[in-house]
Amino acid sequence: MPLQTPPLRGLHDERGAKFTEFGGWDMPVEFDSIQSEHAAVREAAGIFDVSHMGQIHATGPDATELMQRLTTNDVTRLAVGDSQYAAITDEDGTIIDDTVVYRLPNETDDGARADEDGEPTYLFVPNAGTDESTHERWITHRNEWDLEATVDNRTDEYAMFAVQGPEAADLVDDATAESITALDRFEAQYATVDGVDCWVARTGYTGEDGFELIVPWSEAEHVWSLFDCQPCGLGARDTLRIEAGLLLAGQDFDHDSDPRTPYEAGIGFTVALETEFVGRDALAELEREGIEEKLVGFQLIDRGVPRHGYDITNTDSRVIGTVTSGTMSPSLEQPIGLGYVPVEYAEPGTTLQVVVRGQSKKARVETTPFIDTV
């Protein structure tokens, strides 16, 4: 199957980016160097093309009910302009995907924004490559539950950029006609960027303050070019996320190869058990009984770099888990990683071993995030 291309593929290529396949998309992995891109985000600002992330729009009288039943968090807490992190779980409570759900201004039947008498409207962002299956899931359940809601997959209609870092707020504020500095974390609004109508959200995925802009595909190049900061690729995204202890889809949870519940993955805060959703009963039972394994952060004490798939052992060399994400942390200049281990090994300070190409390397469980973030 041919790779999908982000709207800025040509621009990235001219800029000298290297590309990689990610979730069926041909995405920039590195523009200059992962270390310099990483440092720019921690110290100033960087911009990421995250147009590979899915964008699904749900509106109608039963849109709230549909979102409530298919995500783990409580969407009724969202006022217009709010957003929340949530998991999408299977009947057994395992994570199919994680997502951010935005409550947009209500819409009228003709698609116009009409907060007063329109229908509740949501936009949510599934991970790369899962937009079609997620869209199908929403449609199937809507039909099964006989709910009145329109669900559109708009992944190909909108580009998405993330401007991240301590200078991101100033950069975005300079670019938007309306002031966006009053937005709190996880708040969003429509704003115009040089005349282009964009959804601007104070969300992001690096641990830093930052904004995501959802931009009409045809205006992507124009809006991107207005941001004079370091372009960043997926490589820096990975190192930034690991340092912040944030999950990488397909690595830290993978519904096919290593199904995990939100409690195991450390995102139990996204589970609103007082609501009814697919997987709720399984998670309620797990919450009562407790989990057996959980995702922990660790630092490698010996020299080496932990990588996805490496075995984690106890000090008796018995395999107790697997590294899900690992890297040499550019900020800490130390090898760090994430992996699932039995809860009795999850206490910070616990000594573990990671098997790096056949050699046992000493590791220590650390609290996450590994670095202080917003």
Partner 1 sequence: MSFDVPDDRRYLESHEWALEIDGTVRVGISDFAQDELGDVVFVELPDEGDTLTQEEEFGVVESIKAVSDLYAPVSGEVTAVNDDLFDAPELVNDDPFGDGWMLEIEADDASELDDLLTADEYEDQIA
| Least distance (Å) between residue 312 CB and partner 1 | 18
Report the C-alpha gap between 232 and 313 in whole angstroms.
35
Does 235 engage in binding with partner 1 (CB under 8 A)? Answer: yes
DSSP of 53-67: S--EEEESTTHHHHH
Span interacting with partner 1, options 192-200, 211-219, 231-239, 256-264, rule CB under 8 A = 231-239
**Of 137, 136, 139, 159, the residue nearest 148 (C-alpha):** 139
Check binding of 232 to partner 1 (CB under 8 A). no
Candidate ranges 31-39, 139-147, 195-203, 317-325; the one touching partner 1 (CB under 8 A)? 31-39
Q: Which two tokens stand for residue 88?
A: 């999408």
In contact, 91 and 105? CB cutoff 8 Å:
no
From CA 47, how far away is CA 49, in angstroms rounded? 7
Q: Give the C-alpha separation, 15 to 11, whole Å.
A: 6
Told to check if 307 binds partner 1 by CB under 8 A, we report: yes
Q: How far is the CB of 235 from partner 1 (least distance, A)?
A: 5
212 is in an annotated binding site: yes
Q: Is 330 in the site for partner 1 (CB under 8 A)?
A: yes
Comparison of 203 and 239: residue with beta carbon closer to partner 1 = 239
Structural contact between residues 374 and 185, judged by C-beta atoms closer than 8 angstroms: yes
Q: Which of 64, 134, 239, 324 binds partner 1 (CB under 8 A)?
A: 239
Binds partner 1 (CB under 8 A): choice among 11, 226, 301, 328: 328
**Identity of the amino acid at 350:** T
Smallest distance from partner 1 to CB 18, Å? 8
Among 13, 33, 109, 276, binds partner 1 (CB under 8 A): 33
| Residue 27 beta carbon to partner 1: minimum distance, rounded to whole angstroms | 13
Of the candidates 270, 339, 266, the residue with the CA atom closest to the CA atom of residue 299: 339
**Which among 21, 121, 104 has a CA at the least distance from the CA of 67?**
121
- Which residues, other chains included, contact 285 with Cβ-Cβ below 8 Å and sequence gap of 6+? none
The distance of closest approach from Cβ of residue 28 to partner 1 in the complex, given in angstroms and rounded to an integer, is 13
Place of tokens 């190049």: 221
| Number of residues counted as binding partner 1 (CB under 8 A) | 18
Closest CA to 282 of 296, 262, 265, 266: 262
Q: Binders of partner 1 among 107-126, rule CB under 8 A?
A: none
Contact letters for partner 1, residues 277-306 (x by CB under 8 A): --------------------------xxx-
Among 83, 189, 251, 327, binds partner 1 (CB under 8 A): 327
Work out how close the CB of 245 gets to partner 1 at its nearest, in angstroms, rounded to a whole number.
18
Q: How many CA atoms lie within 13 A of 92 on its CB side?
A: 5
30 interacts with partner 1 by CB under 8 A: yes
Residues 47 and 213 sit within 8 Å (Cβ to Cβ): no
- Residues of this chain that interact with partner 1 (CB under 8 A) are 16, 29-30, 33-35, 235, 238-239, 303-305, 307, 327-328, 330, 335, 357
List residues forming the annotated binding site: 212
List residues forming the annotated binding site for substrate: 212
